[in-house]
Structure formats: C-alpha cells, structure tokens
Amino acid sequence: MEGSTTELQRDEARERVQYRALEQPTLCGAFQVTASENPDRVALRTKGDEFSMSWGEYRDKVKALAGGLAGLGLGRGDTIALLLTNRPEFHWVDSAAMHLGATPFSVYNTYSPEQIEFLVSDAQNRIFVTESRYLDTVMKVKETCSSVEHVVVVDGEADGTLSLGDVEASARDDFDFSAAWQAVEPDDVLTLIYTSGTTGPPKGVQITHANELTAGRSFDQIIQFPAGARVVSYLPMAHIAERSCTHYLPIMFGFKVTCCPDAREVISYLPEVRPTWFFAVPRIFEKLKAAMEAGIANEQDPERKKAAQQALEVGLKKVRLEQAGEEVPEDLKRAYEQADEQAFSKIRAGLGLDGIEALNVGAAPTPREVIEFFHALGLPLAELWGMSETCGAGTCNRPEHIKIGTVGPAAPGIEVKLADDGEVLVRSGVVMKGYRNQTEQTKEAFTEDGFLKTGDIGEFDEDGFLKIVDRKKELIINAGGKNMSPANIEAKVKTASPLIGQAVAVGDGRPYNVALITLDPDATPGFAREHGLDGKSIGELAGEQAVIDSVQEGIDRANEQLARVEQIKKFKILPTEWEPGGDELTPTMKLKRKPIAEKYTDEIEALYSS
C-alpha cells in the first residue's frame, strides 16, 4: 500500500545533506562541529527577532558559562537543575553544563515545591537555575534540600541568588574549556528525564551522549533534514520529545530554534517561523481541526462555505482511497488538484505549514479522523511512538509512506518486537543507561536478552507497522472478561464534541463503561453565548441542561464508532478544569488514572448506582 503523497513531502531528488556532527562520539563534539561549520547561521531566536543569536555567538556564550559553572564547582558527573520556560537561556546553560560532562535536568514549571524536592533529593544537584517567576518555589526547595548551594536567576537579580553575569565572572583563569569537553565520554549521562509519575514516584531516566546521538542518526534516515531547518520550541524541556526535538537535534543538524515561552501561543508562531518539522501532542491537532471546521461552519457566504465543504470532501475521499490501497480515479485526482490550488495551498500557507518536511504527533492515541483531516489538506500528519527511556525514538511513519492508525515501522537502528502477551519490547543504542539510584527497577525493566519492557501493548500489521493498543496496566477488563483500551474510547469521545475537554473511561471489573467529562475551556464560552448562558462559570455550565444535552449528542456520536461493549452508557460532567501538572493530569497531559479514580470515587459510584 502506498501512503498519500503531497507537494509538501520531501523532494527525493534533493541532494542529501551530510551532517558531520553525527559522526562525533558526544553531543559536545557535535555542538562544536555544527558551530564551526555554521558560525553565522541563526541558532536561537525569539518571535519577531527581538533576540537572535548565531551559532558562533551561541558557542562563545556556552564557553563563557561553562567556565563560570566550573568555577562554582560543577564538573563531570555532577547534576544541575533547570526550571525555565522555553527561552534562549535554557539552551546556553544546558549546553554549557553538557560541555563539562555534567548532567542537566529540567523541572516542569507546574510542579509544587514538594514535587521538586523529590527530584532534587534524587539528583543531589548543587546548582539550580531558574527565572524570576519561579524563584519563590525554588527558594522553598533550597530551604529543605541541603544539596542546593547556588540559585541562578537568568532574568533579574534577587538577594541570595546569582545572575548569569555572576556565573560567567566565577570562571577561573586556568579553566581549559577544550580539555573539559574533550574529556566527556559517550557513556556519560547527558541528561535525566524524570518520568511523569503516572504509576508512582518519578524515576530518573539516564540518557547518555551515545543514546541521543544514536537517536539523531536514526531520525536523519527517516526525515533527512535540509540545511537550515526551522523548529519551534514550546513544550516543556522536562519532556524527552521537546528536549530531543528542539535542543539536541538542533545541535546535530544546525536547526534554527524559535523559542515560544507559552505553549498556548504556538499556533500563532507558525506563520512567522514556517517550521521545517513540527511535532505536537494530539490535543493541539484536535483543537486546530475543530477551529478550522468551526470556521467553515460559520462562513457567511453560502458559495464559499459550499466550496470549502466540497473541497474537504474531495480531499477525504482521496485520502481514504489511498489508505485502503485503492486506485484514485483520474477525475478525483483532477478535482483534488483544483481544490489544492484554490483552497488547500492557501490554508497551508496561512497556517505557516507550507514548508513542512515532516509533521508528527505522538504521546497519546490520535483519532483517525483527525489525521485524515490534515492529510486531506495536504499536510502529511504522521504518528510516531517512543518513550523517555528510548530518547523518544522507537517507531515512526515515514513522510512518504504513512499508514493512518499506526505509529509506523521500527525506526532505523531499533529492534522492536512483541512479547507473548503483546507488550512492545525495544532493543537499541537509543535505550537508556538505566534509572538513577534504582538498580532493582532498572533490572526489572529489561528482559534477559536485553530488550526494554515498554509497558505498551501493541500489534504489528502485515507490513510491520505497529499499532499501540494501550498501556499494559491500563486496559479495562469488564465484568464479562472483555479487554478494552480506555485510551481509544476516550479519543473517540473527545473528538465527538468540541465541548469535551478531557474524558476518562471507567469500567474495569464493571458491567458497563461510564465516563467522567470536563468541559473545554476554549469552546465552552462560545457555546454559552449562543445559548443565552453568557457569564456563567465552567462549574455552573456543567450543570446546565443545554450543555448536558450537547455532550450527550457527542457521546452518542462516539458510541456509533465503538463496539457495543466499549460504549459509554452514562457520564458525569465535572464542574472543574483539569490543569497539566494537577491532581488529574501529568505536565504532558497524560491522565493520572489511579488518582482520578480515588478522587472521584463518589461520582463514579453514583454513575453505577443510579
């Protein structure tokens, strides 16, 4: 079967760029090669070029900060904590520490002092780098964690702290920068990625220089980035996807990185950046689809509205035929070419996605209709799969061959197979060194022949494309013994109504499935205005019959796409919003199922007893 093809997919005739940085044994060496080959190319910038730094300037800043950090006592094998938004200073400090053979790790900016204390107690870092808005939190951590000696504030001055200028001034005259970075070994720990804690306390995943370079070489074979590729940095750097995509891969490939400190604004950055590669979690694409569909639905000109609807129908018909491996009729091809010229090409340009080489989504299941929608627009959205323990690498749909509903075949250099119970197993140079201070848990994470147990249940199709069913420990097994994927049920529910923000399917050991629902804070105000409920809070709207009826309509639509045993029989709209990093969601918006079940026991029991 051939995947859908568009003008946006990479030009096979383009001369392949050979990146010498990938030949280096460490990220330090990769950084130095990239900076020496591209001293005048922009490396880091902010929107509107309010700040811009070339690779040569980036290299000089890293050298100066490395000397200062060494003067503060940071050396090979030491750790350093960073609690920062997506800003140039993150890249400077992280890279400077890396050149000393030290291990920087990022902290989610939604974490409480108590959560951060756990990480610091595990990492035992002496230096903590932050910005003014998080200083109170960091100082509380310093009071309770004796390991922390220095707090560095990157955007101001405060009593008891150091500025970046103070750090640079701490350098000793005899500091030898070249000797420091050349002493770093491939097996040195490059970073700690602390897991988001869905199944217990966070574990510090130890990623080495060799691990990340192996991942980079694998990506190079999948996407083949052109020289001067562009990316937007907007997700938390504590997450492996962002740290790899917009920090480590730019070091290997010389990307131009635009820093977006507020993830909610990332879509507005795209027209200016025109990214070469863009990765996002499913919710961003779901909301973008909903916004575009709402725009079509609200079009006042009947002819323009009809034309947009017909163009989308043509695009979807073409995509579905291609995905089914069927021939696209000539008249449909011509109709699509016309729709692309008159509508889709303009949409891509308006979004800022007309220069895309690869467009990826991951971290959770993405509804099929969402991916089909973007393919219809000529945007080859492709699912990939990986985890912190594998540098975010694992499997990936190639831009030129995408199978919707799968996360693609194994990436180059990575072995992927299934255990007898369907658990996905991985063996490769991308796999972590182990969990910090967790010898027993590290041992338990591997099979006897060296495969990492991922905890995901998967299936391979006849072409070797992997489909992730769900997390091994999260499958619903109902009272009749039927196994179901809550994540797939929830994905159907969330896309069935714009009012639904989060959905949690419950049914383990029960006779039928129910759901806890939260309202989408972006879509709900518009609905409220249309129904004479303007001014009411989310909590108040949760009890309004018009809202309940609209959500019920969405549940009904979702149930039509689910097997009878999977369907949601009852639901409860909760009068609250769930924030990333709160009781219900991890910072990367994964559901904390056990805490949710405990917190909302009464609501769940009421759904079964009524």
Q: How do residues 329-387 score in pLDDT, each as one tens digit?
A: 999 999 999 999 999 999 999 999 999 999 999 877 788 889 999 999 999 999 999 99
The residue extents of the domains of the chain are: 32-280, 476-609
| 4 DSSP 8-state letter | P
Residue 79's SS3 state is: strand
Q: Looking at the predicted structure, is the pLDDT value of residue 472 above 60?
A: yes
How much is the mean pLDDT over the chain?
A: 91
CATH for 476-609 (3.40.50.2000, 3.30.300.30, 2.60.120.380, 3.40.50.740) = 3.30.300.30
Q: How far apart are alpha carbons 144 and 142 in whole angstroms? A: 5
Task: Give the largest CA-CA distance in the chain.
Answer: 75
User: Per-residue confidence at 13, pLDDT binned at 50, 70, 90?
Assistant: very low
Q: How do residues 165-205 score in pLDDT, each as one tens digit?
A: 999 999 999 999 999 999 999 999 999 999 865 556 789 99
pLDDT value, residue 297:
82
Q: How do residues 431-449 score in pLDDT, each as one tens digit?
A: 999 999 999 999 999 999 9
Q: What percent of the chain has pLDDT over 90?
A: 72
Q: How far apart are alpha carbons 27 and 181 in whole angstroms? A: 9
Q: How do residues 450-465 score in pLDDT, each as one tens digit?
A: 999 998 989 999 999 9
User: Per-residue confidence at 287, pLDDT binned at 50, 70, 90?
Assistant: confident
Q: Looking at the predicted structure, is the pLDDT value of residue 419 above 50?
A: yes
For residues 190 and 211, the answer to whether their CB atoms sit within 8 Å is yes
Q: Averaged over 571-588, what is the pLDDT?
A: 86
| 410 DSSP 8-state letter | B
Q: What percent of the chain has pLDDT over 70?
A: 96
User: Per-residue confidence at 495, pLDDT binned at 50, 70, 90?
Assistant: confident
Nearest CA-CA partner of 151 in 116, 190, 184: 116
Q: How far apart are alpha carbons 599 and 192 in whole angstroms? A: 30
Residue 500 one-letter amino acid: I
Pairwise pLDDT comparison (133 vs 508), residue with the higher score: 133
Query: 3-state secondary structure string, 232-261?
Result: EECCCCCCHHHHHHHHHHHHHHCCEEEECC
pLDDT value, residue 594:
84
pLDDT value, residue 321:
96
Residue where the block lists tokens 């960073």: 82
Give the gyration radius of the chain's Cα atoms.
25
Q: How far apart are alpha carbons 416 and 385 in whole angstroms? A: 11
pLDDT value, residue 275:
96
Angle between helices 88-99 and 27-37 (to 10 degrees): 120
Fold of 32-280: Rossmann fold (3.40.50)
Residue 207 one-letter amino acid: I
pLDDT value, residue 176:
97
H/E element holding 308? Answer: helix 302-323
pLDDT value, residue 430:
97
User: Per-residue confidence at 487, pLDDT binned at 50, 70, 90?
Assistant: confident
Q: How do residues 20-78 score in pLDDT, each as one tens digit?
A: 999 999 999 999 999 999 999 999 999 999 999 999 999 999 999 999 999 999 999 99
Q: Averaged over 553-560, what is the pLDDT?
A: 92
Q: How far apart are alpha carbons 497 and 322 in whole angstroms? A: 27
User: Per-residue confidence at 319, pLDDT binned at 50, 70, 90?
Assistant: very high
Q: Looking at the predicted structure, is the pLDDT value of residue 10 above 70?
A: no
Specify the pTM. Answer: 0.84
pLDDT value, residue 11:
46
pLDDT value, residue 585:
85
pLDDT value, residue 230:
97
Q: Averaged over 492-503, what is the pLDDT?
A: 89
Q: Looking at the predicted structure, is the pLDDT value of residue 252 above 90?
A: yes
Q: Looking at the predicted structure, is the pLDDT value of residue 3 above 50?
A: no
For residues 177 and 101, the answer to whether their CB atoms sit within 8 Å is no
Q: Averaged over 500-529, what is the pLDDT?
A: 90
Spatial strand order of the sheet with 513-519 comes to 500-506, 513-519, 568-573
Strand locations in 158-255, DSSP E? 189-194, 204-208, 230-233
Q: Averaged over 590-595, what is the pLDDT?
A: 84
The tokens for 583 are: 């009781």
Q: How far apart are alpha carbons 407 and 542 in whole angstroms? A: 35
Q: How far is CA 488 from its chain centroid? A: 18
The tokens for 405 are: 């509903």
For residues 509 and 476, the answer to whether their CB atoms sit within 8 Å is no
